[in-house]
């Protein structure tokens, strides 16, 4: 699995999320999280990346390379500049790759969290390294990655923004500046809204899944409506890419059994492709592991 440890050093992975940054490293064939730092809206990139660099340099093995994953638009050709950071406003336009390289003096690679997660899943054998696969994360937003023969397809650098493809012209406004984006209809808030619209109540997707399992009619109807929009987006993607299949991750993916049949029905109505959907299990360490394995593979 993955490539071998080329220089004898350790490969480090940093997963910078909206609430926490997790830092871990691969030694030999094992990976472990070394430390977790709080982030949040007021988190300054220079300060956090300096502390993380100090942690990495404290280790008794010289780092070979470092990977960093975070949400947003990442300019890889420019060395890892965060062009847009949806959760961490102070990270907009920051060259995170350069800051880390200056501190650590080792190769650093930076990528979007969704691509990083996919790279980890490819390297650990969860996503096959043959075929064309689309990885979709269903959460507050909808992220995506295009994987061909085990490699991410980047286009000019920003491929996989499936959540911002338009599914309804003139529809719900999106923070991205467009309207009618797929994630406004098949993201977490949409699912919650489908239930609230029927009952006047607000419940979490997890509670909605419990209600649906218990036979609650509005919860089942909300998942049906949600599944329709998931199916519309997946059919659009299948028509564009003719993929081998899809892997689904993200916070809403554990509820797939509640919306899969309506998604499949909608999909079958709109494309002639096979319905080949797999759940990709998440873990709290998956982002940092993906970042470390990206560093091992690409540096």
Tokens of 103: 């501190």
Residue 219 touching Zn ion (CB under 5 A): no
Q: How far is the CB of 274 from Zn ion (least distance, A)?
A: 28
Tokens of 256: 């797939």
Contact 21, 28 (CB under 8 A): no
Q: How far is the CB of 142 from Zn ion (least distance, A)?
A: 9
Residue 176 touching Zn ion (CB under 5 A): yes
Choices 11-19, 63-71, 173-181, 189-197; region in contact with Zn ion by CB under 5 A: 173-181
Render 262-274 in DSSP notation, one character per residue. Answer: HHHHHHHHH--S-
Q: How far is the CB of 72 from Zn ion (least distance, A)?
A: 13
Residue 174 touching Zn ion (CB under 5 A): yes
Candidates 94, 108, 181, 295: give the one binding Zn ion (CB under 5 A).
Answer: 181
For Zn ion, the closer CB: 159 or 178: 178
Phi and psi torsions of 236, nearest 5°: -55, -45
Contact 104, 62 (CB under 8 A): no
Residue 34 touching Zn ion (CB under 5 A): no
Between CA 117 and CA 98 the distance in angstroms is 22
For Zn ion, the closer CB: 27 or 165: 165
- The pattern of x and - marking residues 149 through 168 that bind Zn ion according to CB under 5 A reads ---------------x----
User: In 3-state terms, what secondary structure has residue 67?
Assistant: strand
Helix (H) or strand (E) holding 16: strand 10-16
Question: Which residues here bind Zn ion, judged by CB under 5 A?
Answer: 164, 174, 176, 178, 181
């Amino acid at each position: 699995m993955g490539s071998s440890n080329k220089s004898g050093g350790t490969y480090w992975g940093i997963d910078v999320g909206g609430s926490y940054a997790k830092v871990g490293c691969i030694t030999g064939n094992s990976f472990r999280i070394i430390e977790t730092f709080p982030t949040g809206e007021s988190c300054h990139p220079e300060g956090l990346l300096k502390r993380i660099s100090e942690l990495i340099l404290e280790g008794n093995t010289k780092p070979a390379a470092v990977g960093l994953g975070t949400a947003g638009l990442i300019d890889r050709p420019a060395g890892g500049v965060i062009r847009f950071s949806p959760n961490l406003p102070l990270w907009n336009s920051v060259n995170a790759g350069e800051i880390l390289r200056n501190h650590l003096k080792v190769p650093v690679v930076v990528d979007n969290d969704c691509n990083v997660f996919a790279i980890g899943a490819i390297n650990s054998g969860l996503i096959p390294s043959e075929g064309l696969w689309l990885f979709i994360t269903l959460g507050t937003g909808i992220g995506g990655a295009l994987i061909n023969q085990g490699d991410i397809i980047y286009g000019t650098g920003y491929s996989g923004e499936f959540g911002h493809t338009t599914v309804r012209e003139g529809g719900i406004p999106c923070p991205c500046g467009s309207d009618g984006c797929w994630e406004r209809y098949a993201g977490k808030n949409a699912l919650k809204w489908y239930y609230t619209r029927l009952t006047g109540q607000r419940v979490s997707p997890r509670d909605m899944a419990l209600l649906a399992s218990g036979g609650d009619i509005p919860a089942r109807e909300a998942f049906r409506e949600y599944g329709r929009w998931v199916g519309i987006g997946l059919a659009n993607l299948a028509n564009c890419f003719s993929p081998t299949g899809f892997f689904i991750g993200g916070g809403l993916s554990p509820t797939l059994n509640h919306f899969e049949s309506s998604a499949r029905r909608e999909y079958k109505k709109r494309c002639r492709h096979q319905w080949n959907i797999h759940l990709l299990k998440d873990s709290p360490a998956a982002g940092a592991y993906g970042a470390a394995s990206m560093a091992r593979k690409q540096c």
